[in-house]
Chains A and B, each alone.
Chain A
Amino acid sequence: MTSAGNDTETATAIQKATAGSSVIGPLNFGKDNEGGNPPPSRLTDDTAVECMFCENVYNFRLGDSRDQYLAHLYMVHRLVIADIGEVECVASYSRFWRDKFREHPMEKYCSALLLNHLPDGTPASNEKYFMLSDIEPLDYELRQRLKREMMELVLARHQFERTDRNFNRGCLYCRDLQAETRAEFLEHLYSKHFLLLGKAENLVFVDELIDAVQEKMENLICLFCEKVFKDRPTLKEHMRKKGHKRINPDNKFYDRFFLVNYRNDRLKKPAPTGKQPVPIRARAKESSPFHSEDSDSDWSDWYGEEQPTTCLFCTVAKGKIDELKQHMKVDHNFDFDGQVVGLTFYQRVKIVNYIRRQMHVLRCVQCREEFPSKDELQTHLREAGHYSTGEQQFWDQPEFFFPTYEDDQFLCHLEDDSPDLSDDSSVVISEKVEAKVNPEAESLSLENFRLD
């Protein structure tokens, strides 16, 4: 494949080029964000939440610290937060308003109330209190934003917990199981020990849930009714006899572990109380795989981020390939489309990979002079105007079939002048087809065949 000409000079130059290029490890444009940390389980750090007005700091992870903070806000600063149950993350909420109250006085955002008693209950007259509610547009937007972010966080975490195989936790009761996934763990707890925490597909933050359950067991507290017992066998006997080997649906502490509670539906009509099981025929149609409402099979509402494409010669990156080509024309006087007219798709691939490689090893594409640093190479390219594809003998090598950068988006936008004509430089052989004639299948397929 090497176009070794009669000219020995060119031959040695080519040899030097290919010999000098040692195997380079995989190069990437983007940072490697996969396989790093598992998704977080909190929107923000809630171990050190500062009061909106003073220097008090609260650790929401400890006991009822959150309620203490809210009580403090009322008692000391006379502030009430309306619909606190609707605020998804009190820590983020508090931080937001803390910053805002630095800039402007709180009266700007809070409504004022006049009540006839002091915070501790003693009667007084016309004491001023403040209420922070979603009448204030910023507050409304904040609450909506927190709901959205929390929903995304929960879904991401649920997705992770669904597929993660590095769970590795021993069973709470027996020494038999070392579960790989959370689903396995919960299934084992149910099938072997009859402890029903819920189905893995409906739960999130499973690690914390199991920690909480474990803590209750170790402190000899019943999971359901929260009574304390004198030793482990008594506790186990109680939980078994009373059917308390499950989570109390009225206990709000466990609400955050169930996905269904994050739906944020604001329905005025109360949901039908499912006292009796709904017969199959009367059940909502949407649980069948064939029922599809208009939004069901709509593929177009899933939006992602644009993958930026990096310039061949500098670090400028653009979302759209046309903008990038425009940048190269303007800033580097390099018209990519003009340079590749008449070349096949595979030749264009090689050109891109060749230029990327030369830029990486700090060699000029045109004159092949090497430089000790990126800046010097850039200076040379600019001054000598050597932004080009280089000579064909150098880029038309089989090694440049392979992408220099693993995630090089430039390679995904190479137009082909004649996409339908076959490319002589590539010979692709298809694999053998395995299907054999089957008379039964054939008669079944001909059953509905009509020559209309």
Chain B
Amino acid sequence: MKSREYQQIDPKALPTPTQSPPSHQHQAVGDDGRTPRRKWEVFPGKNRFFCDGRIMMARQSGVFPLTLGLILVTSGLFFIFDCPFLVKHLTSCIPAIGGVLFVFVLITLLQTSFTDPGILPRATPEEAADIERQIDDTGNASYRPPPRTKEVLINQQVIKLKYCFTCKMFRPPRTSHCSLCDNCVERFDHHCPWVGNCVGKRNYRFFYTFIVSLSFLTAFIFGCVTTHLALRAKGGKGLMFALQESPVELAICFFSVWSILGLSGFHTYLVASNLTTNEDIKGSWSGKSGEAVTNPYSHKNIFINCCSVLCVPMPPSLIDRRGFLPADEPAQTSGVDLELPNPSTKSDINVVGGSSHLVLDLQKSSADFSLFLNQTKPAALPA
């Protein structure tokens, strides 16, 4: 099994910066020699940036164009074919409600896809060295691979914090490393290919609003199309003839309504119990190991749980995409200089599909720990 190589930190290679002056004084210049470079240009994760760092997505956009296309096509067909008929025979509120729902869905989808999900920036070389140095306190200033986990007590429960070898830090609780984006994401829920981004602390509320409003929209369109067909069939020509006129819309709505309603219901349960998809799938708090474990993050009250997930003040983006790079600071490297051949070698991949909830959960064995290479660089270790 291919393991992640541990790269020993060479203390001589650590930068000894004079405290970097305010960033607008000395900036790393871009290719044209004039424009200063921004931090997003050297971001080590697998992300794509647009509008000079204002918008970001995962590098693999997944089926995001398909999601957008389906929503636009279905809504377009609804407005073009069903609305005129229903306005004439029922009420003109129908396109109004449909319009509001459609705009809501579109805005929340774009916000989910384009927002930083809560990516944790990688540790600076000095921080990483500090963590590794702390382990060995017999007086020897040597740098060894840190232990894989560290335990903390949260609400009288022992939680294991894992060390992330890519980001060179102990992950905070509920943080997980997404292999598709190669980033540690806070309160990691899942990587959603339908929106082409991870769902984490900062964009979970957008994601939840998106799927709830999408359920309303698809249910609404489905209801309107059914009413339209029923009225037409009553008009004398028969149901089969009426069905032939709008098959596409009906098919899309019929199949998506159940899956999206199901997904909304699932996430409502998660919000009410303050759980993430990641924790639910792994069964972190269901007591599988036999011990009496409960979710230490739950407030034991559905209303407070919902508020703490959806109404907490919006946390800031920690990666400072649009900040300028100081000229003397080396760009944060990707830590371990490995080309990961394919994501399946990484531990924990959670990809949740829309209707079928596909989950691939590959756990690396702890035997990998023994495969760490001691020295990959020719630099000498300190005494």
Q: Do A and B come from one complex?
A: no
Interface residues of B (CB under 8 A from A): none
